[in-house]
Structure 1
Amino acid sequence: MSTSTPPTAVVIDGYSAGNFYPAAFAATGTRVIHVQSTPELIPTMVAPNLAEYAENLVITDEAELIERLRGYDLVAVVPGQESAVRQADRVSEALGVKSNGTALSPARRDKYQMIEALRRAGVRCADQTKSSDAAELVKWAEDRGVWPVVVKPLSSAASDGVFICANAEEVRAAAERVLGGRDIFGFDNAEALIQSYSRGTEYVVDTVSSDGHRYAAGVWQYDKILLPSGQNIYNRDILLPADAEPVPALIAYVNEVLTALDVRWGPSHAEVIVTDEGPVLVEIATRFNGQLNPAFQRLCLGHDQSGLSALAYTDPERFAREYGGRVYRKAQSGYSYNPPTELDGTVAAVDQDVVARINELPSVLLTSVKYAPGDRIRPTTDLLSAAMRIYLTAPDDEQLVADYEKARVLKDAVYRVG
């Protein structure tokens, strides 16, 4: 490997939360380049800020990409978003840099293979099957005879196309909708997945790994809203203290999941439901929490997942010494709030006075408005179609709750639809 270039990290498709990689790696003195795996940027995702990278390589042929990257002194090849996970695994393995490898890469992306890998490892998991035929999915549910069930795509994200179905008719409708559509990354859904429904409270467990040394970076409780369509949309992520129940059990369970999937490097974002039998995985992704905001996480936790991940790759010895086998400490309370909307039409205006009033609330760190005048806005059905994102944090829980309630009222006046 050439030593004529500085240590370099490669981010493949650095969309959405992947936008936080350049600053994180730069803080370690690492040069960062971007790989765009498609001729055009993916329109459904928040685009990478290419100005933050030393280079942007638009290379769609993987063999060509691998040869091009051999000239760099590489410390990491990481996925900037979920659809790049398998490519990052292949490229990092081929180049001999820190890698989770390809042996279990499909199970870290395909939700059916993910659960089957847990089953083989003896880790508690859902019942499931998959098919390209809606009738087969209906038959599986009817033969099983336990309702509700969950229907979703095999490889999407952000609660895209996830339906909770109470009967055979709802299964058929959900399966046909999934099979007739594309995931949020633009790929056709050739098959749909059906799973047993895990009844209980859902949580997020974020981790960072460095050569198998793991740090539990945060546990958040989901506050969700079930729509009449059967879609369960995000409302709030609520940070929990590390010693609160059931946080220790969640962390122990996710460690089993990471071992079963052979995750040794980088960030992971797990969604887990605590049932009467114990924790059960919804899904896990080897990328950042999609609601990552470094400034927000540093206030709540004293660290952020992007900075920890850059450290994990660039200085494994320090990471193992300072974070390996340890658990986060909650510094102050925090919510990541994703206000839903029932608006349907074209945005005529964004009322900046209302946005300012939200931002003036003592607990509000940032309000991220998603739509601009001229954009099409639709009723919320998943995380991507939430109206905005509001980060709230405060040492005083009463203040936090009060400001959240005020933001819930104000959010409906942000957009005017023509």
Structure 2
Amino acid sequence: MPPTAVLVDAYTSGNHLPPAFAKLGVDVVHVQSTPELMTSMRPPDLGAYREAVPHGTPEETAARLAEFAPICVIAGQEPGVPLADDLSERLGLPGNGTALSTARRDKYEMIEALRRAGVRCADQLKSGSSDTLVAWAEERGRYPVVVKPLSSAATDGVAICRNAEEVRKAADAVLGTVNIFGEHNDEVLLQSFLDGEEYMVDFVSYAGERYACGIWQYHKKLKDTHRIYHRDSITPPDSGTAREIIAYMHEALDALGIQYGPTHAEVIVTAEGPALVEVGARPSGGLLPDFHDRCLGANQGDVTALAYARPREFAEHYAGRTYRKVTEATLMFLDTELDGVVESIDEDVVAEIEALESVHTFVPKLAPGKRMRPTVDLYTATGSVHLYNRSADALGRDAARIQQLKDRVYRLRDDTGWTA
């Protein structure tokens, strides 16, 4: 029997892990942490797995997995982090353990873990009362502040508030709702605003040794109280900013007990230095292996599989090292002000975008029959485009053309008729 890796909740970018392990001769088994597969994310391709183990108690699941003698248990997406921690501990496998598992999912506990370790972080309060949150913001007397759910992702429910009225409105919009993972928002997190440039930072760790897979600077647009994703660009690994962020992330990951596996973090570089927005102990949602190989010289999925399947090779070739900037590149998220039902996709417009010199992959996110709404977060973006080009000018021209074409990808209908 070949060696086996266990993936928990391998939604969205977790789908890149089975082929990464397959290249190393490792089979994969899937575990889901919920009774039914979640519908808010791209589901795992269960055909890529030797077996799919249904939801059960941790004790039952660990007993079933022991039959495969797995080499590791990894979270493929955010909801699977606590169960992956639990199962790897029960099975005596390399993992981050359960002692700080809550701090790796609950954003309040995450920042408090950093504070206890003396790592730079935001001020914060959590509460189930919008009155309490407003009172804290007013007493603190420094706006803007940030309102967000405790355990969601992709800017779901995140609002930047400039006054007490906006804090109350944002908190009330989250309280009592369900996040994208089906979890109830009984409390809301309120944090001080971290002023500075924001970066996406991806690592792979094994036994405390780490490889920096990539640092991308976010370029976001402010829309009302929401900062929506627009595009990102590679931060040169030899820059002072990259070195400062990497040093900070070692401290943050240590404070959260993350010694193994892939991580995806957002960091803002303030006047005082880098400060963590949040980190997920799972692969980056933007992982696209071929694209990252071309742009950065390696990709997080393959490096993760190598670390668990062949730790010595990981230590020799990746531990203590960083990505390379091979070419200019960007990931664009398409936003819209349109509102209507998608009648069809204009394939000629799609073909024009895909034919642009710099375009690696274009993914329209909406199918016919789906509702398009004005973009307020990552989940209401209408599509994503990966671009790379050795010429920054050519890359910029192609990105500008995509902006001109983005609202023509879909043919919409609304209550008054057709909207192009």
TM-score (norm 1): 0.97
Question: Structure 1 stretch 241-250 or stretch 138-147: which is displaced more?
Answer: 241-250
- Determine the C-alpha separation between the residues in 2 that align with 1:59 and 1:82: 16
Which of structure 1's runs of 4+ aligned residues deviate more than 3 A?
Answer: none
Q: Work out the percentage of aligned pairs sharing the same amino acid.
A: 52
SS in 2 for 1:74: coil
- Determine the C-alpha separation between the residues in 2 that align with 1:347 and 1:245: 45
Q: CA deviation at 1:49?
A: 1.1
Look up the match of 2:302.
Answer: 307
Q: CA deviation at 1:240?
A: 1.6
Counterpart contact for 2:32–2:80, Cα < 8 Å: no
SS in 2 for 1:73: coil
1:348 and 2:343 equivalent? yes
Look up the match of 1:132.
Answer: 128
Determine which of 18, 22, 25 is the counterpart of 2:18: 22
1:273 and 2:268 equivalent? yes
Length, aligned pairs only: 413
Question: Structure 1 stretch 385-394 or stretch 62-71: which is displaced more?
Answer: 62-71
Q: CA deviation at 1:273?
A: 0.6
Look up the match of 2:151.
Answer: 155
- Determine the C-alpha separation between the residues in 1 that align with 2:347 and 2:103: 44
Q: CA deviation at 1:36?
A: 2.1
Look up the match of 1:103.
Answer: 99
Determine which of 404, 410, 419 is the counterpart of 1:409: 404
Counterpart contact for 1:33–1:56, Cα < 8 Å: yes
Give a deviation string over 1:282-306, Cα, whole Å, max 9, x none.
Answer: 0011111111111110110111100
The amino acid of 1:388's aligned partner reads: G
1:330 and 2:325 equivalent? yes
Look up the match of 2:375.
Answer: 380
SS in 1 for 2:36: coil
Counterpart contact for 2:33–2:83, Cα < 8 Å: no
Counterpart contact for 1:211–1:316, Cα < 8 Å: no
- Determine the C-alpha separation between the residues in 2 that align with 1:206 and 1:150: 23
SS in 2 for 1:338: strand
Look up the match of 1:33.
Answer: 29
Q: CA deviation at 1:14?
A: 0.9
TM-score (norm 2): 0.97
Determine which of 203, 210, 214 is the counterpart of 1:207: 203
Give a deviation string over 1:154-195, Cα, whole Å, max 9, x none.
Answer: 100011100100011111111111112111101110110000
SS in 1 for 2:178: coil
Give a deviation string over 1:245-277, Cα, whole Å, max 9, x none.
Answer: 411101111111011111111111110111111
Q: CA deviation at 1:43?
A: 1.0
Q: CA deviation at 1:40?
A: 2.1
Look up the match of 1:227.
Answer: 223
- Determine the C-alpha separation between the residues in 2 that align with 1:52 and 1:409: 38
SS in 2 for 1:327: coil
- Structure 2, gaps ≥5 residues long: 414-420
- RMSD of aligned C-alpha atoms? 0.9
